[in-house]
Structure 1
Amino acid sequence: MSSLQELYDEIVACRRCPRLVAWREEVGRKKRLAYINDEYWARPVPGFGDPKARILIFGLAPGAHGSNRTGRMFTGDASGNFLFPALWRAGLASRPQATGRDDGLELRGVYITAAVRCVPPKNKPTREEFAACSYWTARELALLPDVRVYLALGRLAHEALLEHHRLVKRRFPFAHGAEHALPNGLTLLDSYHVSRQNTQTGKLNEEMFDAVLARAKALAGIS
């Protein structure tokens, strides 16, 4: 079995999905004005975190000017600006800010990854792209044997995890705060995605997300 580092190297070199390869690289060339002097990552973004994690946070895909720029999941955009302070408040991160791969941030008991590793146009991966990236999901989860809780951020992440385990979606309906006991003994816990769209409209607020993280810790046996 490969190590997480060996898997990271394979993921970063992936060019399986031509549409995603073209888009991630175009975003990296055009850049956003605020980051015009940054060198964009513009490659697949591997997961990161504690190799002995008991909680797996599972998102949808990298953000165009967040992860696709910094090369680390949820780092450098509004979603991360909501997520990492919450993890820090919960004692699951060493600091509340995430700015880049070398910022010193460490996760404790948590690993973060996503259903799709490349930024998709309009933030909408195709079914074929989800399927292609499920190969990496299977490899990654096999290297995280201590995980007890999946925390899915949003319906699409929730459904991708069910697809991975070949589970019937209608038996495990998505809802914020919902808990699903899976046949493998793990718990699938749901939250609305930490996107700017949700947090700025109040669909998801700090109190709601803190409660989900507290429940994830309890289910995972993290004090």
Structure 2
Amino acid sequence: MHPAEAHLLSDLETLDREVTHCRACPRLVAWREEAARVKRRAYQDWDYWARPVPGFGPPDASLLLVGLAPAAHGANRTGRIFTGDPSGDVLYRTLHGLGLANRPESVVHGDGLELYGVRITDPVRCAPPDNKPSTEERDTCRPWIARELDFLRPTVRTVVALGGFAWQALLPILAGAGWQVPRPRPRFGHGAVADLPAADGGPPLKLIGCYHVSPRNTYTGRLTVPMLRELLAEAARSAGLEPVE
């Protein structure tokens, strides 16, 4: 199925299944499959996933975390978002510490990890070269996450954008899903908050910016674990969840 047909899907489970077959972006298809052929030395015995990666978490989540794209030797290898790389190690350990996940490790799809009230997704579903999808690739992939937001709209109350790419990608998607994005458009920053009323008078949405959990940020101290924990705890509370203090 091409992303442009995502609006035809009737539920989140079907979307998660269909997205894994997408081949709409030739450069990304070639790169994800090349990474699976070459592999890293540490993963020579792995049978890489090498397909688009769906979102992860319950279909009635009230808190949504949005990243950038799968890592070539992380989710592109394991088949689950933020799984098998340093970014995921930090993220899931923090979620577990807040009582929002049942275990601190995220090793591979099917390892028993569960999220409570939280779903995680990406605006681009295939691993891009140098972690930099093109604008065209981002826009081609957009219908997948747009339809995902359609399904989450009855329950989601807070969205955390992990990085500036996610923040910019989300603004038109949230507007299309029925929330009013202010003008001028809110700017990304760690801890930036934008309150988006619903155009139909329904529940509003809170958009929160967070530095991405990439090693570039966590290894340099730009984003520390206490910073991440504090922000995710506040996001969880605003979504109606009860994080562990």
Alignment correspondent of 1:25 = 33
Aligned-residue offset at 1:170: 4.7
Take 1:116 and 1:49, find their aligned partners in 2: how far apart are those partners?
17
Aligned-residue offset at 1:51: 1.4
Take 2:10 and 2:103, find their aligned partners in 1: how far apart are those partners?
30
Letter in 1 for 2:112: G
- Which of the residues 121, 144, 151 maps onto 1:143? 151
1:124 aligns with 2:132: yes
1:88/1:95 contact within 8 Å kept: yes
Take 2:196 and 2:41, find their aligned partners in 1: how far apart are those partners?
45
Alignment of 1:159-170 (within 5 A): 159-166=168-175, 167=181, 170=184
Take 1:168 and 1:147, find their aligned partners in 2: how far apart are those partners?
19
Aligned-residue offset at 1:143: 1.4
1:159/1:169 contact within 8 Å kept: no
Letter in 2 for 1:47: G
Take 2:228 and 2:183, find their aligned partners in 1: how far apart are those partners?
23
1:13/1:44 contact within 8 Å kept: yes
1:59/1:157 contact within 8 Å kept: yes
| Secondary structure class of the residue paired with 1:181 | strand
Alignment correspondent of 1:214 = 233
| Secondary structure class of the residue paired with 1:49 | coil
Alignment correspondent of 1:62 = 70
Take 2:241 and 2:16, find their aligned partners in 1: how far apart are those partners?
26
Take 1:170 and 1:119, find their aligned partners in 2: how far apart are those partners?
31
Alignment correspondent of 2:106 = 98
The TM-score with structure 1 as length reference comes to: 0.97
Unpaired stretches in structure 2, ≥5 consecutive residues: 1-8, 176-180, 199-203
2:182/2:196 contact within 8 Å kept: no
CA-based RMSD: 1.2
| Secondary structure class of the residue paired with 2:219 | helix
Alignment correspondent of 1:154 = 163
1:55/1:220 contact within 8 Å kept: yes
Alignment correspondent of 1:174 = 188
1:162/1:168 contact within 8 Å kept: no
Letter in 2 for 1:153: L
Take 1:169 and 1:62, find their aligned partners in 2: how far apart are those partners?
31
Take 2:214 and 2:85, find their aligned partners in 1: how far apart are those partners?
9
Aligned length: 223
Alignment correspondent of 2:21 = 13
Letter in 1 for 2:84: G
Letter in 2 for 1:208: M
Take 1:24 and 1:168, find their aligned partners in 2: how far apart are those partners?
36
1:113 aligns with 2:121: yes
Alignment of 1:195-206 (within 5 A): 195-206=214-225
Alignment correspondent of 1:34 = 42
- Which of the residues 183, 193, 196 maps onto 2:197? 183
Alignment of 1:71-90 (within 5 A): 71-90=79-98
Take 1:100 and 1:70, find their aligned partners in 2: how far apart are those partners?
5
1:162/1:169 contact within 8 Å kept: no
